[in-house]
Amino acid sequence: MKFSANLGFLWNDRPLPDAIHAAKLAGFDAVECHWPYDTDPAEVKAALQETGLPMLGLNTRRGDVAGRENGLAALPGREAEARAAIEEAVTYANAIDAGAVHVMAGFAHGPQAQECFVDSLRYAVDLASKTGRTILIEPLNRYDAAGYFLQTTDHAKAIIAEVNAPNLKLMFDCYHVQLMEGDITHRLNALKDIIGHIQFASVPDRGAPDHGELNYAHVFAEVTRLGWSTPLGAEYKPQGATDDSLGWLRTFS
């Protein structure tokens, strides 16, 4: 089993290039991040080359963070900003050779938001296809992101079918899916053909995957049985120093 360190949560007290080096030292096989835009992509690329770690993905900007925005792509009236965020993310991904861009939908609901999100994704997949990037969409749970447009894997599946582009995939985050839907291993099986990335954290506290209501020994065994070979994203919030939370990595690697 291979694992990717999500540097939005792990070693996030360090500059991104230093966090990449820390992930390599800890034994991770890849890295991913949230919003790297304050860091010169040349510095990130250098750290990736020095460590030999691939960068699996990054997110589009959330919008007005102070105003508690969490994405723009499904917000009617914000289409120009959403497209600018997509362009920025794909450009950054190209510069550091990140494999995927997660397009964040934002807080919205209704048919206009659906139409807006689909249009944004069509723009994103077309732009990303020019350099072989994947676009990801991710359902978020109602406890951490109340009012987020995309909350279930069924909704994500329908959107992926509507856009109908080979480089649009589902980000299957076991933490979010367990809180909203449960039935993790059956859903992994049912959705395997449209999954582009898998992430994990304990439920319900979003900590390391060594406690809580999900048995990750079972989940990881099922992922292996499905033939999944891409590193799984460790997107959890350490209780204290990241290095002190990595017992699970030695257990499952």
Q: pLDDT per residue over 204-253, tens digit each?
A: 999 999 999 999 999 999 999 999 999 999 999 999 999 999 999 999 98
> What pLDDT score does 57 carry?
98
Q: φ and ψ at 197, to 5 degrees?
A: -160, 145
Domain definitions of the chain by residue range: 3-252
235 is catalytic: yes
Q: Across the chain, which distance is largest between two alpha carbons, in Å? A: 48
> What pLDDT score does 180 carry?
98
pLDDT per residue as tens digits for the range 74-92:
999 999 999 999 999 999 9
> What pLDDT score does 6 carry?
98
Tell me the residue type at 100. A
Check the CA dihedral 235-219-138-21 and report its sign: positive
DSSP one-letter code for 10: T
Measuring CA to CA, how many Å separate 47 from each of 5, 32, 52?
Answer: 14, 13, 8
Tell me the residue type at 193. D
What is the arrangement of strands in the sheet containing 57-59, beginning at the earlier edge strand? 30-32, 3-6, 232-234, 195-200, 168-173, 134-137, 100-102, 57-59
Q: φ and ψ at 85, to 5 degrees?
A: -65, -40
Evaluate whether 167 touches 128 at the Cβ level (below 8 Å): yes
Q: Can you give the length of the chain in residues?
A: 253
Confidence category of residue 1, pLDDT binned at 50, 70, 90 = very high
Direct distance between the N- and C-terminal alpha carbons of the chain, in angstroms, rounded to an integer: 5
Which segments within the chain are labelled E, that is strand? Answer: 3-6, 30-32, 57-59, 100-102, 134-137, 168-173, 195-200, 232-234
Q: Which of 32, 43, 162, 235 is catalytic?
A: 235
With a threshold of 0.95, does the pTM exceed it?
A: yes
> What pLDDT score does 111 carry?
97
Fold classified for 3-252: TIM Barrel (3.20.20)
Per DSSP, helices labelled H in 12-78 are 16-26, 41-51
Tally of CB atoms within 10 A around 226 = 14
> What pLDDT score does 84 carry?
98
> What pLDDT score does 232 carry?
98
User: Residue 42, class by beta-carbon neighbours within 10 Å (0-12 exposed, 13-18 middle, 19+ buried)?
Assistant: exposed
Task: Provide CB contacts within 8 A for 204, sequence distance 6+.
Answer: 143, 179, 212, 213
> What pLDDT score does 211 carry?
96
Check the CA dihedral 70-76-79-81 and report its sign: negative
Q: Which of 88, 138, 162, 181 is catalytic?
A: 138
